[in-house]
Structure 1
């Protein structure tokens, strides 16, 4: 199967970058399952439309949550003192994790779900610090922040050997896998960062757990695990594939998103669709009958997966007739205080697939604020000009300028996303 590059090289000016990003979005053609013909674009540029599951022959770097256009736009806008970018920057520099004085605390074994041995809080705090320092370097140009981010990554790459605990270890490998890989992508090329050693950590510690979970789900009933378990592991595999220029891993994540058996694949994550509800199409999120906190987490995990794919030329955001968009609108509508339809959700749990049912949407954690909405709003409305009424209301009227890890409490839920979407995605 031949593979074609999804992009021309992004230019490091805001105007050229936005233009080229739109021209290169060949992935828009992939939502119907792929086309075999070539697509001719303006200015004589021609791109071959490849099959739906083909990774690029040459990966775009940086090309995970942020491309050069995102970084340059933030840099230019912050320097000019323009809002909302400046407000997003101020959130970043005020966060204690973004200070160049942060000192890493690497662990040889990370435990999650193992009672008194739990130390995964150290890992997610260090990742947040590394990410925020890397952002400060990319946007502000301060080498002290780059040195700090590199020191954190190097320390963990030279120390971490495994992630253990209960089955919650699979969550740690997934969430912190894609987050850590994103830091490595931002530091790619920095002299003080040992990229090869970092890749080995991602390939030897995180990826095997991600792959094994999607393959066998701890030998439980396929519907036992909620959507977020699959999603974070899919995102980690995709991020590691991009970091390591590994097309097979990238394809593994994309293919699971489209056709995977577990609850993280798109048709299982959004199992029920509703047409023209108060003028909008909606999709019931898989965890809607559980609680809204995990629905918010789902927006962040699937959003990260879709954004990384978009920056490599694949449009998962719109795949299957905008299914994720409909799911995000559903979650947003309910969490801004409006009513949504609900279809009884039934699933099997454990190893014997014991039957369970949820008959109503859950109000637990309704209206919870998490920094996951800017990415969705500025994609669907900013890039595509779609009417995202409920997502927009969620972002502007409830969440506001987005911070990151450390701004939303000290427990793991406040670190399930890297955040700072206002700074990095406003358009």
Structure 2
């Protein structure tokens, strides 16, 4: 357990430094000035999408029509805020959890619709949804509270960034910022020792919130933790004989690691910590990694080059089986539970189109599932925003 003791000592040192206003030197420094809108999508990316939809080009027009036809884009939607959102394991109980997530996705949906169409009614509906929650919510409780905070906290800043920096007026934007700072950030910034599908969306939320708040210290802290967790979530042979240990928690022996990796003891390029659990949860982790990487690119740090080997291997490995390749006996006992979800567009665009990496399995998976819609949690409309987007 010596490693954990050293980590605890280092954590204490970081805390002391923070208490005295000392910023430890790190390669993960936040930009001098944040770029806005800059959470997952930039203004240049939005302008590209708007131009493609206006021209009737595909797949963006089909993706936008999918967005407009969804309940999330309804201008008659009534927000359902709660002071306390209580989320138990496997959504039992579900007191406001679905409502919060879907209202956040709706706010983001409306923000995208506003920018693409110029119809102010969408901006005003997005604002109404965000204002309703910022006037009401105080806490997330029960066992899935941190995960819920990460899911909703990942989406709110996407909507808020677009509205604040492209629409003419949002009188309650400061109250919304206070909500993010007091209700969401304290929970997500500390991370989790649970599975990666928890901690990676929590770090995504922390990064996005930090951008919206122009909070350099929180951004640095979240990125540092994110990098460690992403490296421990996807295995590549460069890691050595086994995956990296997670940055916090009690997993620090090989036997504990194998148990944490769902009993998988054969490690191959692209395997994730949750592959042998199911591809749905694995997709959550991969998606969150791609979202954070894309936000860092917009903010001028760009983690895509440093993540490219893990992410291309992870996408290629999982999409190969989604596309029909038989699962070998040394992977999850020869049987996997598929369901990766609509999570490949952001990474495929970054790795294949921008970095020029050949990704046959990922391309087949991505293009055959267009337009990719939403998982109703924290992934939404990524064919529209990121398919072949050069910006």
Shorter-chain-normalised TM-score: which range?
Answer: 0.7 to 0.9
Q: Quick one: which of 373, 376, 389 aligns to 1:403?
A: 373
Poorly superposed stretches of 4+, deviation over 4 Å: 339-344
The whole-number CA distance in structure 1 between the counterparts of 2:140 and 2:93 is 15
Q: Where in structure 2 are there 5+ consecutive unaligned residues?
A: 1-24, 240-267
Find the counterpart in structure 1 of residue 261 from structure 2: none
Looking at structure 1, the residues matched to 349 and 307 of structure 2 have their Cα atoms a distance apart, in angstroms, of 20
In the alignment, which of 174, 178, 188 is matched to residue 196 of structure 1?
174
1:92-111, aligned counterparts within 5 Å?
Answer: 92-111=67-86
Partner of 2:264: none
Find the aligned partners of 2:328 and 2:294 in 1 and give their Cα distance.
28
Partner of 1:232: 201
Secondary structure of the corresponding residue to residue 325 of structure 2: coil
Could you tell me how far 1:417 is from its partner in structure 2?
2.9
Distance in 2 separating the partners of 1:192 and 1:149: 10
What 5-or-longer segments of structure 1 have no aligned partner? 1-49, 260-264, 276-280, 345-358, 405-413
Aligned to 1:170: 146
Q: Give 3-state SS (helix, strand or coil) of 2:270's partner.
A: strand
Provide the aligned C-alpha RMSD in A. Answer: 2.2
Conserved in 1, the CA contact under 8 Å of 2:53 and 2:61?
Answer: yes
Query: For the structure 1 residues 382 and 181, does the alpha-carbon distance in structure 2 shift closer, same or farther, using more than 3 Å as the test?
Result: same
Match of 2:252 in 1: none
Which whole-Å CA distance do the structure 1 matches of 2:327 and 2:231 have between them?
A: 19
Q: Tell me which residue corresponds to 1:273.
A: 237
TM-superposed deviation, 1:239: 0.6
Q: Find out whether 1:382 has 2:353 as its counterpart.
A: yes
- Output aligned runs, 1:7-406, within 5 Å: 52-113=27-88, 115-116=92-93, 118-166=95-143, 168-189=144-165, 190=167, 191-192=169-170, 194-212=172-190, 214=191, 217=192, 222=193, 225-259=194-228, 265-273=229-237, 282-319=269-306, 322-339=309-326, 359-360=332-333, 362-364=335-337, 366=338, 368=339, 370-397=341-368, 399-404=369-374
Deviation, 1:72, is 0.4
Local SS of the residue matching 2:38: coil
Q: Secondary structure of 2:227's match?
A: helix
Q: Provide the C-alpha distance between the structure 2 equivalents of 1:340 and 1:101, rounded to a whole number of angstroms.
A: 46
Displacement of 1:332 after TM fit?
A: 1.5
- 8 Å Cα contact 2:86/2:93 also seen in 1: no
Q: What count of residue pairs does the alignment treat as equivalent?
A: 332
Partner of 1:425: 386
Shift of 1:341: 6.4
TM-score of the aligned structures, taking structure 1 as reference length? 0.73
Q: Normalised by the size of structure 2, how large is the TM-score?
A: 0.80
